Amino acid sequence: MAVVEYKDVSRIYPGSEIPAVNTLNLTVASGELLVLVGPSGSGKSTALRMLAGLEPANEGSIHIDGADVTDFEPQQRDIAMVFQNYALYPQMTVAGNMGFALKQRKVPKAEREAKVLEAARILDLEPYLDRKPKNLSGGQRQRVAMGRAIVREPKVFLMDEPLSNLDAKLRVQTRAELADLQARLGVTTVYVTHDQVEAMTMGHRVAVLKDGFLQQVDAPKELYHRPANRFVAGFIGSPAMNLIPTDRIDGKVTFGSFQVPLDAQTEKALASQPGVAFTVGIRPEHLQLVTSGIPGEVKLLEELGSESYIHVQVQHEDRDQILVVRTDGDATVSRGSTVNVGFNGPVHLFGEDGLRIE
Amino acid sequence: MVEQQRIEPADNGTSGKGGGRARKSSFLSEAWKRRLPLLPAFLIVVVLTQVPFLMSIYFSLTRWRANTAEPREFIGVDNYIDLVSNSFFWSAAWNSILMTVVSVGLSLLFGTGLALLLDRKFFGQGFARTLIITPFLVMPVVAGLVWKNQMLNSSFGVINWFIEGLGMEPISFASRYPLWTIVVVLVWQWTPFMMLIILAGLQGQSSSVLEAAKVDGANGVSTFFQITLPHLRSYLELGALLGVIYLSQVYDHIRVITRGTGSANLPYFVYLRSIGGGWQFGAASAYSIVVVIFSFIIANFGLRVLSGLLTDEGA
Amino acid sequence: MADFAKPKGKGRFTSLAFTSLTWLLAGIFFFPIFWMFISGFKSELDANGAPKLFFEPTLEQYRIVTETPPGQLGFWEATTNSFIIVIVSTLIVMMLAVPTAYALTIRPVGKWMEYLFFFISTKFLPIVASILPIYILAKHFDLLSSRRLLIILYMSMNLPLAIWMLRSFFQEVPRELIEAAEIDGANLRSQMVSVILPIVAPGLAATALLCFIFAWNEYFLAVQLNTTGGETVPIWASSVVDERGQFLAKLSAASTLATLPVIVAGWVAQKRMIRGLAMGAIK
């Protein structure tokens, strides 16, 4: 059980001008599963590797359980890490892999074996303890990597895209198992992924990064319903939020001939905004097909069975604009037909600087 | 197993590091920490290669005949001036270039051919490869002796036996074609080496690329020239580089087969002029310095090729 | 797989032709060695005449060449010298090259490429150019009358090659494995022993073998520095001819004995050897 803190942490790779991680401030509560999510190059892995001690921090400090570990070697930090490709020692058996860290700490053999066996039991790895990693399936390898982390009983688990090498079905299953395991063990966990679905389903809180900057850190629900800026709005949620550039005319934000419905609070905040250019964000489920609304042509239809995503091309400020509408599975439209789109829920508004207005 | 005392990992900052200031000095020692493992090898190589080289430079500026009682005398660049007009030196230089270029070229050509043949699946593939690589493993002295005495000898050589069988006069290869005899033996020894490198290249070729070419309708010949050969380029370069390093310094074969007659390359010429009977240590040192300069021009070129290989890899 | 001659209909004939050609060339390349090998079992009468494939085999020549004529270099002495010199020098090379390869790959020094180039560039220095200073230095340090001189020289001769090859193998050690070991609390020694060395072990073996081959076969330095008490097998092999004239059967027996250790070792490790030379250098 430990609190992890990043205080103004920056990492500039040699030969680069732009920091990979830029003055990151982040606190992970004890026992929390925090997910770092972002597109590639966002700095999420760098942030994790700095916490592991595999990458030095150029500025700022990192604290585990109150102790400044910024200049500690990985060995001194009492952390365990699960790597994307598992990084199992090929010449050691499953038991050898899981017990290696304990052996390094000179834990007596009997105690070591007991702990390995216990971890193997939790992860259903008992029959495989004498096998070499090359004789295991992808899912089993992933569990060995997990086992190697749990036997340590570390202060913090670090996970670097641990599920990305599994096939889609196994990934969904393992995702749930992993979240459950973490909750049972109650060990503070920092989890890196590029997959926002994984982030949303697993994280107690999710930290979104882009270009080395922390965009927002919040509970998944909050992230979804109140994205702090245009980037988070577009990144979280699938299919992605519709983001429509609009201009303010006569104090109102309009879409085509429609006035965008804003709640009173947002309306008030909008009044104090100096610019004219805004972005309206609306999730696909908050749009619907109506008899009288914004007219457009169906360009693409994605049918998933339980629901359908309809891509409608509408005219807005003399430009073509695609709106994705999410409907239930039995939509009757077809490609090329003309439909009307109407608003059906909350609308997000972002200013010229991309920040949320409310 | 012996019961050992359990040691907790040190997680309190006993090392006293922690601030931004402390980090600077730890980075400096980090550079040395990284350099430390290669220092022994580095220093040993510097001492063992550079010290003799510096001594050679000094000797090359002296008149020093080891077979006379004359003392060593500093004469400046005279040895180098004499060298320019020494036709033996230039013919040795020409031999060197000819021998290196022809043997490396032929070894690469034959090696590529053999590699292509061996890269097919057929019965006894591994055994055929084993037979073909063996010449590379043979001690150069033995290779020279076997070829000279048992293959090419004019009275009991196997090849001359064939030639006589065809009704022609036997040829004493080593005395009539000394340079080419040596080239034959060098090619025999180095073709297997080149074959192994090219084979590694062929086996490293991704099968999906070849399949894509097949789907795109390329036939065998055009697949070879447009896909396989470009892929092999870096392997050919590596083979050429290693070949030049070793074949430009051939000594053993020459010593055993011709003793330098009509086939002395630069190393052998330097040898003949110094410890090989000439005892002109001053002049020989000057020759060797020139050889080193030549070698470094070639090396520079070779290393540029190599640096290309290394940067490709980094990409 | 080569792209031509897949056994398919008309291709089957081509395939057979290519296979025959391969076997023919393999035969040609191996023939001199085969000839040397069988000639060692001939009597001198059979060997010094028109080439003969069928003869009455005898071990006589092996008996003669392994006998030590008084005052001359004997086979057993040369073999002992060779093994000691080659093994010791190869061990030293490996002990120096392993940490160097580590410092060029896993935790690389700044400008690692320049260090690597320096090591390789020393291979371009013709040995003959430094034989004289080496002789003078060796005499000064009283190394001429021992095996030590050749040990030192073969070490410096093979070190760059070993570093080059080991670098290739070390490069194939996945970064994450070392990082995982660091996080697991392994110190440098333990990372080396438990993680890195087991992975590069085949590469170490191949590299050591190549060093062994080059050192075993080396003749120039051995003969020129003429270290009394340190004469090696190549000197012995050439002396069999020099001193006993045209005795082809004896020469063949001696040649077979001289080359056998390296040929056997090379056959065993052929695949790995080439991986070390070619892989990693090229991607």
pLDDT digits (tens, 9 = 90+) for A298-339: 999 998 888 999 999 998 878 888 999 999 877 778 889 999
Classify residue B57 as left (phi > 0), alpha (psi -120 to 50) or beta.
alpha
C219/B255 touch (CB, cutoff 8 Å), yes or no: yes
**Phi, psi at residue A313, to the nearest 5°?**
-95, 120
User: How distant is the Cα of C10 from the closest Cα of chain A, in angstroms?
Assistant: 41
Residue tagged 């040369």 (tokens): C78
Q: Is A314 helix (H, G, I), strand (E, B) or coil?
A: strand
DSSP label at residue C117:
H
User: CA distances (Å), A20 to each of A11, A50, A116, in order?
Assistant: 6, 11, 37
From the list B142, B197, B281, which residue is nearest C258 (CB)? Answer: B142
Given a cut of 60, whether residue B5 has pLDDT beyond it is no
pLDDT in tens, C176-190: 899 999 888 888 888
Burial of B195 (0-12, 13-18, 19+ CB in 10 A): buried
Chain B touched by C136 (CB under 8 Å): yes
**pLDDT tens readout for residues A336-358:** 999 999 888 888 999 888 899 88
Which two three-digit tokens encode residue C124?
């371009």
| Alpha helix stretches (DSSP H) within C188-247 | 188-190, 197-217, 220-224, 233-244
Q: What is the CATH number of domain C71-278?
A: 1.10.3720.10
Between residues C73 and C159, the one the model is more confident about: C159
Q: Report the C-alpha gap between B220 and C3 in whole angstroms.
A: 5
| Binary contact (B11, A72; C-beta < 8 A) | yes
- With an 8 Å Cβ cutoff, are A75 and C187 in contact? yes
Residue C57 has pLDDT above 70, yes or no: yes
Which of B48, B128, B156 lies at the smallest CB-CB distance from C156?
B48
How many of the other CB atoms lie within 10 Å of CB of B15? 13
- Chain C residues with CB inside 8 Å of A75's CB? 182-183, 185-187
| Contact across the interface for A148 and C174, Cβ inside 8 Å | no
Please count the structural domains in chain B.
1
pLDDT at site C63: 78
Q: How far is C212 from chain B (nearest CA, A)?
A: 11
B83 within some domain: no
Neighbours of A247 (CB within 10 A): 11
Put simply, the answer to whether C183 touches A75 (Cβ < 8 Å) is: yes
Q: What is the pLDDT of residue C10?
A: 61
Q: What is the pLDDT of residue A147?
A: 92
Q: Which chains touch C (3 or more CB pairs under 8 A)?
A: A, B
Does C193 touch chain A if contact means CB atoms closer than 8 Å? Answer: no
Cβ of A106 within 8 Å of Cβ of B9? The answer is no
Distance between C84 CA and the closest CA of chain B, angstroms: 18
Q: For CATH 1.10.3720.10, list the domain ranges present in chain C.
A: 71-278
User: Rounded to an integer, what distance in angstroms lies between the CA atom of residue A247 and that of residue A254?
Assistant: 7
Percent of chain A with pLDDT over 90: 63
C213 near B CB under 8 A = yes
Nearest CA in chain B to C219: B252
SS3 C173: coil
- Contacts (Cβ under 8 Å, ≥6 apart) of B24: none
Q: Can you name the residues that pair with A6 across neighbouring β-strands?
A: A26, A62
Confidence of residue B154 (pLDDT cuts 50, 70, 90): low
Closest Cα of chain C to B253: distance in Å?
A: 10
pTM for this entry: 0.79
Residue with tokens 């992924």: A193
Q: Please tell me the least confidently modeled range out of A50-59, A178-187, C5-14, C170-179.
A: C5-14
Q: Angle at which helices B125-137 and B178-203 pack, to 10 degrees?
A: 140
Q: Which among A79, A91, A152 has CB closest to C199?
A: A91
Q: Torsion angle, CA of B278/B283/B284/B289, rounded to 10 degrees? A: -170
Q: Quick check: A83 and C184 CB within 8 A?
A: no
Q: For the ranges B29-38, B92-101, C87-96, C243-252, which has the lowest average pLDDT?
A: C243-252
What are the C-alpha distances in Å from A88 to residues A74, A130, A168, A300? Answer: 17, 14, 22, 45
User: Are A7 and A61 a contacting pair, CB within 8 Å?
Assistant: yes
Which residues neighbour A353 within 8 Å (Cβ) at sequence distance 6 or greater? none
| Distance spanning both ends of chain B, measured CA to CA | 48
- Written as six digits, the tokens of C19 are 């296979």
Residues of B in contact with C148 (CB under 8 A): none
State the best of A45, A51, A54, A159 to mutate against chain C, taking most chain C CBs within 10 Å.
A54
B90 has pLDDT over 90? no
Mean pLDDT (chain A, rounded):
90
Nearest to C241 by CA among B146, B248, B253: B146
Strands A277-282 and A205-210: unpaired
Percent of chain B with pLDDT over 90: 8
- Which of C169, C220, C250 best probes binding to B when mutated, by most B CB atoms within 10 angstroms? C220
Q: What's the Rg (C-alpha) of chain C?
A: 23
Structural contact between residues A79 and A157, judged by C-beta atoms closer than 8 angstroms = yes
Q: Identify which of C48, C128, C266 has the shortest CB distance to residue B133.
A: C266
> Per-residue pLDDT tens for C188-201?
888 888 889 888 88
Interchain proximity C186–A105, CB inside 8 Å: no
In a domain, B295, yes or no: no
- C-alpha dist (Å) from residue B64 to B50, B70, B74, B246, B266: 21, 7, 9, 30, 20
B120 touches chain C (CB under 8 A): yes
Q: For residues B238 and B246, what is the distance between their CA atoms, to the nearest angstrom?
A: 13
Query: In the prediction, which pLDDT does B11 show?
Result: 34
C116: which chain B residues are within 8 Å (Cβ-Cβ)? 310
What CA–CA distance (Å, rounded) separates A325 from A289? Answer: 8
Query: Of the candidates B6, B10, B23, which has its C-beta nearest A106's C-beta?
Result: B6
Joined together, the tokens standing for residue A293 give 């609304």
Q: Has residue A141 got a pLDDT over 70? A: yes
Residue B86 has a pLDDT of 81
Instruction: Test C182 with A87 for CB contact under 8 angstroms.
Output: no
Enumerate residues 6+ apart whose C-beta is below 8 A from C219.
B139, B140, B141, B251, B252, B255, C234, C235, C238
Q: How many residue pairs bridge chain A and chain C with CB atoms within 8 Å of each other? A: 62
Q: CA B283, CA A174: separation in Å to the nearest integer?
A: 77
Q: Closest Cα of chain B to A109: distance in Å?
A: 7
- Write down the pLDDT at residue A36: 95
Query: Cβ separation of C128 and B142 shorter than 8 Å?
Result: no
For chains B and C, CB pairs below 8 A equal 326
C112-121 and C148-171 helices, crossing angle to 10°: 140
CATH number of B248's domain: 1.10.3720.10
Instruction: Please give the Cα distance from B156 to B167 (Å, whole number).
Output: 16
The verdict on B140 touching C (C-beta cutoff 8 Å) is: yes
Residue A34 and residue A203 in contact, taking contact as beta carbons nearer than 8 Å: yes
Structure-token pair, residue C277: 């030379």
Q: B55 in a domain, yes or no? A: no
Which residue, among C142, C173, C156, C267, has the nearest Cα to C215 in the 3D structure?
C156
Residue A228 phi, psi dihedral angles, 5° rounding: -75, -25
Q: Report the residue count for chain B.
A: 315
Tell me the per-residue pLDDT of A41-99, one tens digit each, with 9 for 90 and over. Answer: 899 999 999 999 999 999 999 999 999 999 998 888 999 999 998 899 988 999 999 99
**Contact B34/C at CB under 8 A:** yes
Q: Which domains does chain A have, with CATH numbers?
A: 4-233 (3.40.50.300), 239-350 (2.40.50.140)
User: Which residue from A minimizes the CA distance to B23?
Assistant: A71
Check CB contact under 8 Å for A54 and C185. no
Q: Which of residues 43-72 of B touch C (CB under 8 A)?
A: 44-45, 48-49, 51-53, 55-56, 59
Among B133, B251, B299, beta carbon nearest to C220: B251
The partner residues of A320 in beta bridges, in order of sequence, read A315
Q: How confident is the model at residue B10 (pLDDT cuts 50, 70, 90)?
A: very low
> Using CB atoms, which residue from B8, B9, B23 is nearest to A71?
B23
Nearest to A242 by CA among A210, A282, A277: A282
Higher pLDDT, A246 or C64: A246
Question: How far is it, in rounded angstroms, from Cα B164 to Cα B157?
Answer: 11
Q: In what order do the strands lie in the sheet containing A338-343?
A: A287-290, A338-343, A294-303, A307-316, A319-328
Specify the pairing of strand A258-259 against strand A294-303.
Answer: unpaired
Contact status, residue C203 vs residue C176, Cβ threshold 8 Å: no
Question: Could you list the residue range(s) of the whole structural domain that residue B137 is in?
Answer: 94-283
Report the length, in residues, of chain C: 283
pLDDT-derived band at C242, boundaries 50, 70, 90:
low
Give residue B17's pLDDT: 33
Q: Which of A304-313, B224-233, C222-231 bottoms out in mean pLDDT, i.e. has the lowest? A: C222-231
Nearest by Cα to B107 from A172, C29, A63: C29
For residue B214, list chain C residues with Cβ-Cβ distance below 8 A.
3
From CA B307, how far away is CA C120, in angstroms rounded? Answer: 12
**B210 located within any domain:** yes
Q: Stretch B298-302: mean pLDDT, rounded?
A: 73
Check if the beta carbon of residue A252 is closer than 8 Å to that of residue A235.
no
**Residues A230, A232, A235, A239, CA torsion sign:** negative
Instruction: Say how far apart CA B239 and CA B194 lie, in whole Å.
Output: 6
Residues of C in contact with B118 (CB under 8 A): 22
Determine the Cα–Cα distance for residues A264 and A259; give it in Å rounded to an integer.
14
pLDDT of residue A155: 92
C183 vs A52, A90, A91: nearest CB: A52
B99 interfaces chain C, CB cutoff of 8 Å? no
